[in-house]
Chain A
């Protein structure tokens, strides 16, 4: 149990296009999901906290108009990278907080490459 999936696992896009990444909790409900970004040879950095039914909370330095987050249900959060540029190329990872507990489960990550 407690499986989190991400789709797609890998995406290549042209500069200026938008890319949507889905994060799903497959067998549990998650009122809170977190989005992280990881550049090569670096650690995970939190981008935003996504709460079901409300606006996401973004970390300092993360543009909310560029990284659109929607958490419309207890099992799905989406991250849309708008007008992607090569510097947005990174490994994007989500985690889901098991409702009623503090246990977090991570997705497998999405590798985004912007040409």
Chain B
């Protein structure tokens, strides 16, 4: 699985959009970008994933650059409950292998 690079931490004001970047310059053509988050002392939670088109669901939007070397997870209206570590993971879809977690980004939503 391709390596990803994320900022260590970010702050965001409550109610504002949180934009979390991820670099994955060595991504292969058949690898997807997945985002998970982990609230303190809980198991990881799936957020969204995509291949090359932008994706949106009830939790977030995923914007992938045209060259697919980077992506941004957008939480449109961050709340205090969105404070968590956000992990960007690149992997082949359909793989039954484990998820490899990097260090992620600690997002702190401020009141």
Nearest A residue to B38 via CB reads: A44
Q: Does B104 contact A (CB under 8 A)?
A: yes
Q: Give the interface of B toward A (CB within 8 A).
A: 38, 41-46, 87, 93-96, 98-104
Query: Knowing that A102-B93, A105-B46, A109-B42 are A-B contacts, what are 12 other residue pairs whose CB atoms are under 8 Å apart, sorted by A's residue number?
Result: A4-B43, A44-B44, A49-B98, A93-B43, A95-B43, A95-B99, A106-B43, A107-B43, A108-B42, A108-B43, A109-B41, A109-B43
- Contacting pair A46 B41 (CB below 8 A): no
Known contacts A49-B98, A102-B93; is-contact A43 B46 (Cβ 8 Å): no
Q: Does A111 contact B (CB under 8 A)?
A: yes
- Which listed residue, B44, B87, B96, B100, touches A46 by the CB 8 Å rule? B100
Q: How far is the CA of A109 from the CA of B44 in the complex (A)?
A: 9
Q: How far is the CA of A114 from the CA of B55 in the complex (A)?
A: 44
Q: Does A34 contact B (CB under 8 A)?
A: yes
Q: How far is the CA of A111 from the CA of B103 in the complex (A)?
A: 20
What are 11 A-B pairs at a CB distance below 8 A? Answer: A36-B98, A43-B87, A44-B44, A44-B99, A46-B98, A49-B98, A95-B99, A97-B96, A104-B99, A106-B45, A109-B42
Known contacts A34-B98, A43-B102, A43-B103; is-contact A106 B44 (Cβ 8 Å): yes
What's the count of A-B pairs with C-beta under 8 Å? 46
Q: Does A77 contact B (CB under 8 A)?
A: no
Q: How far is the CA of A107 from the CA of B42 in the complex (A)?
A: 8
- The smallest C-beta distance from A96 to any residue of chain B, in angstroms, reads 11
- Which listed residue, B38, B95, B104, touches A102 by the CB 8 Å rule? B95
Nearest B residue to A10 via CB reads: B41
Contact digits for A27-62, partner B, Cβ 8 Å, 1 yes 0 no: 000001010100000011110010000000000000
The interface residues of chain A lying within 8 Å CB-to-CB of B95 are: 102
Nearest B residue to A45 via CB reads: B101
- Contacting pair B44 A93 (CB below 8 A): yes
The interface residues of chain A lying within 8 Å CB-to-CB of B98 are: 34, 36, 46, 49, 95
- The smallest C-beta distance from B41 to any residue of chain A, in angstroms, reads 7
- Contacting pair B101 A43 (CB below 8 A): yes
